[in-house]
């Protein structure tokens, strides 16, 4: 039986922007008590998908953790009178594409690299052998792809899709020029970025430098503190905190002392100035990141 996401919160983030946030519930797991990507990489850390809504039209940014979450999103949109839905994928990772099948009658837009990665990994994703269970079957693939950027609109709301090589080589941010909101996907994360490509951290630093030149009024990441997302959002301090973290991660390959620091000490400055907030489950993410970087250097 499908587990209804009773802890999912619908956040009104502006006249035309809605967030669908789940997770960060003390003592609660969603899928299983055993280690799994859905709980440990998504629900425990907190995750938010977004939708731009204008009248009967909506553009959904990521399809969330599960089919149940995606169905809840679609029901919420349809209850508001939405009949025309398009989907944008921020990147290929499982906690962002797990609900694609609920939107299999909709246009699903993604960067060319995202589509290629999903095609290459489709069998393993469906079988649950890529990052472990649960499998995502069927994995519904993108129907529209782009490479250098893509502009679309939802009613009167303009949307710019901007590629970013941060966290994952296929990252795509969604920028809303009308009010300056930047939906950052996993390119930025609070407390720290999850390292999936330890051999490409230098490229991710280049991506962060590019991102730091953009103008925006607020940043809304997919993984962050719900009170920040529902409130003022994040500012450029989140970019700087991520840059500091990635620079120091590169350093742990040769620095045993740095590698041994707990997260609070590793990022003491951006935590102290409030650019990011400490969330204890990210200690496990931090240790895993250290192990990945040092394992590559071994």
How confident is the prediction along the chain (298 residues), in pLDDT tens digits per residue? Answer: 467 789 999 999 999 999 999 999 999 999 999 999 999 999 999 999 999 999 999 999 999 999 999 999 999 999 999 999 999 999 999 999 999 999 999 999 999 999 999 999 999 999 999 988 899 999 999 999 999 999 999 999 999 999 999 999 999 999 999 999 999 999 999 999 999 999 999 999 999 999 999 999 999 999 999 999 999 999 999 999 999 999 999 999 999 999 999 999 999 999 999 999 999 999 999 999 999 999 865 4
CB 15, CB 52: distance < 8 Å: no
3-state secondary structure of 221: strand
Please name each of the domains of the chain with its CATH number.
9-297 (3.60.15.10)
How crowded is the C-beta side of 56, counted as CA atoms within 13 Å? 2
With b for 16 or more beta-carbon neighbours within 10 A and e for fewer, the 211-230 pattern comes to beeeebebbbbbbbbbebbb
Q: If residue 259 lies in a helix (H) or strand (E), which one and from where to where?
A: helix 256-259
CA atoms within 13 A on the CB side of 298: 7
Task: Determine if the pTM surpasses 0.85.
Answer: yes
Distance CA 278, CA 270 (A): 10
Q: Are 7 and 25 in contact (CB under 8 A)?
A: yes
Q: For residue 4, what pLDDT is reported?
A: 74
Cα dihedral value 262, 264, 269, 272, nearest 10: -170
Q: Which residue, 19, 21, 42, is CA-closest to 31?
A: 42
Which one, of 39, 44, 152, 131, lies nearest residue 88 by Cα?
Answer: 152
Q: Strand locations in 120-228, DSSP E?
A: 144-146, 150-154, 157-166, 168-176, 181-185, 218-221
The closest alpha carbon to 85, from 111, 112, 115, 54, belongs to 54
The pLDDT of residue 2: 64
Q: Which of 158, 1, 4, 143 is nearest to 66 (CA)?
A: 4
């Amino acid at each position: 039986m499908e587990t209804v996401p009773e802890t999912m919160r619908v956040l009104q983030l502006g006249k035309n922007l809605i967030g669908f946030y789940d997770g960060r519930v003390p003592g609660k797991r969603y899928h299983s008590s055993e280690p799994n990507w859905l709980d440990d990489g998504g629900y425990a850390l907190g995750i938010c998908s977004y939708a731009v809504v204008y009248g009967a039209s909506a553009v959904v940014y990521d399809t969330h953790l599960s089919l149940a979450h995606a169905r809840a999103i679609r029901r919420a949109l349809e209850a508001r009178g939405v009949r025309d839905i398009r989907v944008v994928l921020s990147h290929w990772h499982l906690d962002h594409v797990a609900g694609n099948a609920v939107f299999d009658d909709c246009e699903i837009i993604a960067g060319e690299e995202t589509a290629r990665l999903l095609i290459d990994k489709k069998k393993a994703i469906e079988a649950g052998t890529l990052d472990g269970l649960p499998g995502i079957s069927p994995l519904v693939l993108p129907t529209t792809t782009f490479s250098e950027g893509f502009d679309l609109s939802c009613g009167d709301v303009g949307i710019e899709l901007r590629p970013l090589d941060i966290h994952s080589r296929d990252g795509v941010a969604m920028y809303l020029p009308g009010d300056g909101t930047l939906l950052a996907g996993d390119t930025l994360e609070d407390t720290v970025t999850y390292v999936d490509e330890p051999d490409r951290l230098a490229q991710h630093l280049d991506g962060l430098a590019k991102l730091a030149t953009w103008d925006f009024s607020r940043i809304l990441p997919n993984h962050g503190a719900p009170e920040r997302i529902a409130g003022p959002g994040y500012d450029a301090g989140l970019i700087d905190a991520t840059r500091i973290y990635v620079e120091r991660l590169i350093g742990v390959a040769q620095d045993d002392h740095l590698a041994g620091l707990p997260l609070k000490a590793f990022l003491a400055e951006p935590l102290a100035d409030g650019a990011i907030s400490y969330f204890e489950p990210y200690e496990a993410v931090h240790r895993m990141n250290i192990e990945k970087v040092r394992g590559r250097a071994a």
